[in-house]
Structure formats: C-alpha cells, structure tokens
Amino acid sequence: MNVMQLFSLKNKVVLVTGGAGNYGRSITEGLGEAGATVIIASRNIEAIEKVSADFRAGGWDVHGMQVDQADKASVLRLKENIIRQFGKLDVFINNAVSRPMKGYNAPIEQFDESMRVNATGMMDILREMTGLIIQSGGGSVINISSMMGMYAPVYSNYDGIPGMGDIAPDYCFHNAGLIMLTRFMAKTHAGKNIRFNCISPGGLFNNQPEKFVENYCKKVPLGRMANNDDIKGLIVLLSSDAGAYINGENILIDGGLYA
C-alpha cells in the first residue's frame, strides 16, 4: 500500500479522553488532520463541546462527549453513546489524567483520590473501550504515560523556583504502571487484531516559569521543551496501518533528554 494511504485515518473513529487538555488538544489536532472522526471526552460537557466546536470550525470532524472515568455508569454511558452515534470504535487514546496530589507529604487521601481516576477508573475505561474496539473488528489503543513513569524526578530542574519541586509520587507511580499494563494488554489480547502501545512524553511547553524552562532545556540535546506538534506524528503512526506491526511498545519522546 502507498505510504500516505497507510498513514491515513479516513473512516476511523477515535476516542481521546482528556481531549481538551494540553497534550489532548495536540493529539486531537493530529488525528483530525489525518482524516479521523475524533470523539473528545472529559467531565465538563460545556467545556468539551466548546473545544470540539472550535475544532470543527477549523475543518476537523471532532465531537464532544461527557465521561468521568472514575464513575462506572458514566463510562458505560460513553460506550453506549459511541455505539449509538458512530456504530464502532477503531482507536482509543487513553490520555486523561487527574492531579489531586500536591506533594510528597500531602494527605494520603489525595493519593487515594488519584488512584480512583488514574488507576481504577483508567483500568475500567481501558477495558470497556478495548472490548468495543474488538467488537468493532479490531484496532489500536495508545496509552499516554510520561517520562516520569520511566525516570525519577530531576530535582535540579526546580532549583531557585519557589513553589516548585515538591513532586507528587502518585503521578510517577500510575504512569509507570501504565507502561507495564500496555505490555500486559498486548499479550492478553493476542489474536484479536488489536494493538496496544504507550507514548511517554517529555515536558510540554506551557508558559512554565522562565527559570524552570532554562534549567530543563539545558539538559535536552534539542535545547527546548516539547511543542504542540511533537506528539502528532507518533499518534498518527500508532493509530494507523503505518504502525500495523508495532505492538506492546513504549516510546519515549523527550528530545533526547534521557539518551
């Protein structure tokens, strides 16, 4: 097949959780540009509808739906709505994240709250959407983890910045687990025409304090933080037939920081 056809996502229905967030918007844009029908889902329906209307105005086929992944009934409602409106699901980008824990010594209840969304709820929506993709004839799941699920924090990045540097352990813990879960899912669903991969991105530039950006960029061979385009190509590769033989993989995308 022609390589441009391999990368095409025409006629593919893709779900992106947290699709209105920082990385979520870049991911949605890349999928839309490759021709996919994209469903973006998160808790606040007004916010998600506003973002999807903006995407549609830009010419992409993007739809907003509500989900709270920590709520079983809400996950099942999302699944029913996808079936009712689109009849199938080809790709799931497991991207939503909640950050309720505010530092190493934060109350343990905040760790528990994080696990409800980022571990238990995440597992629930991952299993439900995997089932829907298999029922639809097969496809691809992409889990979004983080370089912080692979490597311990670099505390020197926060030197001289008041209010930064107290890293919450829940984020590293659930992102590390997601990398292993990706491999587990790839083996567990062997023979069902479904692939599972993970992307572990580095820090996305988001107007962080200048000192932090300076400390961070000094360590990156490419000399900069990630921008909004950096994740798009990999998302389209892993979602499309161009990545048809990539399965059970975790890909770090950090500008060479951990090379």
Q: Considering only residues 37, 69, 130, 247, which one is a binding residue for ligand NAD as defined by CB under 6 A?
A: 69
208 forms part of the interface with ligand NAD (CB under 6 A): no
Stretch that binds ligand NAD, among 18-26, 30-38, 155-163, 188-196 (CB under 6 A): 18-26
For residues 157 and 208, give the distance between their C-alpha atoms in angstroms, rounded to a whole number. 12
Q: In the window 106-135, what residues touch ligand NAD (CB under 6 A)?
A: 117, 121
Nearer to ligand NAD, 35 or 111 (CB): 111
Strand partners, 91: 14, 140
For residues 236 and 61, give the distance between their C-alpha atoms in angstroms, rounded to a whole number. 15
144 forms part of the interface with ligand NAD (CB under 6 A): yes
Nearer to ligand NAD, 8 or 257 (CB): 257
DSSP 148-215: GGTS---GGGGTT-TT-----HHHHHHHHHHHHHHHHHHHHTTTSSEEEEEEEE-PBPSS--HHHHHH
Binding letters toward ligand NAD, positions 211-240, x by CB under 6 A: ------------------------------
What's the one-letter identity of residue 242? A
Host H or E run for residue 63: strand 61-66
Stretch that binds ligand NAD, among 17-25, 53-61, 127-135, 151-159 (CB under 6 A): 17-25
Q: Considering only residues 14, 20, 186, 236, which one is a binding residue for ligand NAD as defined by CB under 6 A?
A: 20
43 forms part of the interface with ligand NAD (CB under 6 A): yes
257 forms part of the interface with ligand NAD (CB under 6 A): no
DSSP 89-120: --EEEE--------STTS-HHHHHHHHIIIII
Q: Considering only residues 98, 114, 136, 157, which one is a binding residue for ligand NAD as defined by CB under 6 A?
A: 98
177 forms part of the interface with ligand NAD (CB under 6 A): no
Burial class (CB in 10 A: 0-12, 13-18, 19+), 208: middle
